[in-house]
Amino acid sequence: MVTTTRRTVVLSAAATAALGLSGPLEFLPKANAMDMRKKGFIKYKVGDIECISLYDGIWQKKHADNFIRNASVDDTKAALTKAGLSADFVPIEFTQTVVKSGGKTILIDAGTGGQLAPTAGMTMKHMAAAGIDAGKVDTVVISHFHPDHIFGLMAKDTNAQIFPDAEIIVPEAEYKYWTDPAVMATLSERRQGLAKRIQATFPTWKNVRQIGADTEVAPGLRSVAAYGHTAGHTAFHVASGSDELLVVGDAANVPALFVANPTWQAVFDGDPQMATESRIKLFDRAIADKAVIAGYHFGFPNAGTISKDGNGYVFQPA
């Protein structure tokens, strides 16, 4: 049961336990959330596994008629307003998840690398603040190959590896799609630059390992097929004891838009129908398993709970 007040939302004891907290978990007012963004990280536990959310920053995206295929700009602004957010822009935030399991430090997605928006690219700063030595990251797990998830792997001008001593684990279907020379003919000119950069880097790196769905990445951490956003988009399931976490990547973008309206189709989704099906399947799984859920674009903090609300869902950040 969730109890709501004007200042906080207090989570049930079961969900509190899932986050590894000793007392009631409070969902913080906006002022507190802003302070947490400045801090840049939060730590919580899933059973015996320590998890850390790292804030990379935000892209204040201008409204555009084609951003959501089946919703208008007016619909978008109304949904943002309903959620208590500014309707002046679409707030696309970037937050990664670190999992410490089996003696390894595992970074899920590499961030923007400061190469997409002037208000993003803070991963390294916040990693250090959280006490994580970037040079000692053992594994970087990639959900998919969109720029905001992989540019943190490569230097802006030279493409030099940022994590040369880490194992880079990537979804096999995603790797094959982007490294196929024939893919270039299927892409718009704007997206060809991304494919060229992928093809100039990943095949030359000796520390890349491809995995399929339902593959153990580390003790308690497995891949989950969530195709549609891209050809091989992959989520990750963390489990320790009876506690679970679903790191869903880009299965959904801004919660006020795509969690509240799960059938809305973002322009970023390669296969909109498949993306919608994957999104709903992951949400329903999190609810059924009483799992904590973390989304790359869920804002900060990006971990919390999800519940049904009529034809949509509600994400409540912790």
Q: Before 171, cis peptide (omega within 30)? A: no
What's the CATH number where 217 sits?
A: 3.60.15.10
Q: Among candidates 165, 170, 167, 163, which has minimal Cα distance to 210?
A: 170
Place of tokens 């790359």: 296
> Is residue 8 a part of any domain in this protein?
no
CB–CB of 21/44 below 8 Å?
yes
Q: Which of 225, 234, 219, 113 is nearest to 169 (CA)?
A: 234
pLDDT score recorded for residue 36 = 81
Short-list 105, 126, 104, 103, CA closest to 114: 126
DSSP label at residue 202? G
- Round to whole Å and give the CA distance between 173 and 226: 11
Is residue 19 included in any domain, yes or no?
no
d(CA 145, CA 18): 30
**Tokens of residue 308, six digits:** 């049904």
Which residues does residue 206 pair with via DSSP β-bridges, in sequence order? none
> Is 224 domain-assigned?
yes
Starting at the earlier edge strand, list the strands of the sheet with 216-218: 216-218, 221-225, 234-240, 243-247, 292-294, 303-309, 312-317
Q: What is the pTM of this model?
A: 0.89
- Report the pLDDT value the prediction gives residue 31, as an integer from 0 to 100: 58
> If we measure between CA atoms, which residue out of 93, 105, 168 comes closest to residue 131?
105
pLDDT at 318: 80
Flag whether 156 is in a domain.
Answer: yes
Question: Looking at the domain assignment, is residue 27 inside a domain?
Answer: no
33 is a domain residue: no
Residue range(s) defining the domain that contains residue 265: 40-317
Within-domain flag for 30: no
Residue 240 lies in a domain: yes
Domains contained in the chain, number: 1
Q: pLDDT tens per residue, the chain (318 residues)?
A: 333 332 333 333 444 443 343 333 334 455 567 788 889 999 999 999 999 999 999 999 999 999 999 999 999 999 999 999 999 999 999 999 999 999 999 999 999 999 999 999 999 999 999 999 999 999 999 999 999 999 999 999 999 999 999 999 999 999 999 999 999 999 999 899 999 999 999 999 999 999 999 999 999 999 999 999 999 999 999 999 999 999 999 999 999 999 999 999 999 999 999 999 999 999 999 999 999 999 999 999 899 999 999 999 999 988
Q: What is the DSSP string of 89-150?
A: SEEEEEEEEEEEETTEEEEES---TT-S-TTB--HHHHHHHTT--GGG--EEE-S---HHHH
Q: What is the pLDDT of residue 30?
A: 57
